[in-house]
């Protein structure tokens, strides 16, 4: 709303004629008319007097809508707060994902480390034996504490061991070596 329109509206609300308002401000009726028509504008001192006589702030006279400015500032602040909250949520989710991946990596690394150390802790004995000009191979895996993990190889040696039960790997190796040695063969 223009200043002239505001003066006219407020003058009528206070039931004042142009002459009455002019008298209270200390100007002529023609000056009030020129203000209302927008042909001229009051100076700062006259604005202060108008403000007091019409019981409104200078901002209201000049249509400086402070309420709208405040509403816009609050709205902008709320928008900014919303954006910051979204950013913090994304950062939080990324942090949780990073934390989960770190924990999974730690668990997998330690599992693999245990698996590798288990592989390194076993001993593999490869036997090549011969008897009556025939060759036989046998593979024996022994744990660090000497327990038999696995044994496999030639069917001939497997048949020799069919009635035997071994829990210790070295005893199995010694049994196979002594069998071949006792029957005129050899193992190395």
Model confidence pLDDT, tens digit, residues 65-91? 566 666 778 888 889 999 999 999 999
The Cα–Cα gap between 182 and 176 comes to: 10
Note whether residue 138 is domain-resident: yes
Number of folded domains in the chain? 2
Residue span of the structural domain in which 176 resides: 123-187
Q: What is the 3-state secondary structure (H, E, C) of 28-94?
A: CHHHHHHHHHCCCCCCHHHHHHHHHHCCCCHHHHCCCCHHHHHHHHHHHHHHHHHHHHHHHHHHHHH
The Cα–Cα gap between 8 and 13 comes to: 9
Note whether residue 146 is domain-resident: yes
User: Which of 66, 88, 111 is a domain's end point?
Assistant: 66
Banded model confidence at residue 159, pLDDT cuts 50, 70, 90 = very high
Model confidence pLDDT, tens digit, residues 129-153? 999 999 999 999 999 889 999 999 9
pLDDT confidence of residue 186: 94
User: Which of 26, 47, 66 is a domain's end point?
Assistant: 66
DSSP classification of residue 27 = S
Q: What is the number of other CB atoms lying within 10 angstroms of the CB of residue 174?
A: 12
Note whether residue 106 is domain-resident: no
The Cα–Cα gap between 53 and 108 comes to: 83
The count of C-alpha atoms lying within 13 angstroms of the C-alpha of 148, restricted to the half-sphere facing its C-beta, is 15
User: Which of 41, 66, 91 is a domain's end point?
Assistant: 66
Note whether residue 118 is domain-resident: no
Lowest mean pLDDT among 4-18, 71-85, 142-156, 163-177: 71-85
The CATH number of the domain holding residue 62 is 1.10.260.40
pLDDT confidence of residue 11: 94
Note whether residue 81 is domain-resident: no
Note whether residue 95 is domain-resident: no
Note whether residue 57 is domain-resident: yes
- Average pLDDT, stretch 54-62? 87
pTM of the model: 0.38
Note whether residue 83 is domain-resident: no
Secondary structure class of 134 (helix, strand, coil) = strand
């Amino acid at each position: 709303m223009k200043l002239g329109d505001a003066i006219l509206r407020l003058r009528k609300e206070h039931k004042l004629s142009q002459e009455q308002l002019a008298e209270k401000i200390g100007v002529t009726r023609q000056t009030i008319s020129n203000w209302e028509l927008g042909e001229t504008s009051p100076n700062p001192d006259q604005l202060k007097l108008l403000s007091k006589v019409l019981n409104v702030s200078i901002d209201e006279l000049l249509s400086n809508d402070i309420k709208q400015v405040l509403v816009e500032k609050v709205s902008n602040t709320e928008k900014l707060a919303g954006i910051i909250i979204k950013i913090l949520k994304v950062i939080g989710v990324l942090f949780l994902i990073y934390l989960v991946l770190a924990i999974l990596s730690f668990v997998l690394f330690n599992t693999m480390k245990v698996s590798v150390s288990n592989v390194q802790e076993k001993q593999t004995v490869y036997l090549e034996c011969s008897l009556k000009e025939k060759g036989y191979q046998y593979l024996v895996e022994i744990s660090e504490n000497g327990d038999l993990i696995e044994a496999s190889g030639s069917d001939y040696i497997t048949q020799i061991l069919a009635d035997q039960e071994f829990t210790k790997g070295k005893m199995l190796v010694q049994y196979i070596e002594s069998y071949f040695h006792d029957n005129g063969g050899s193992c190395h």
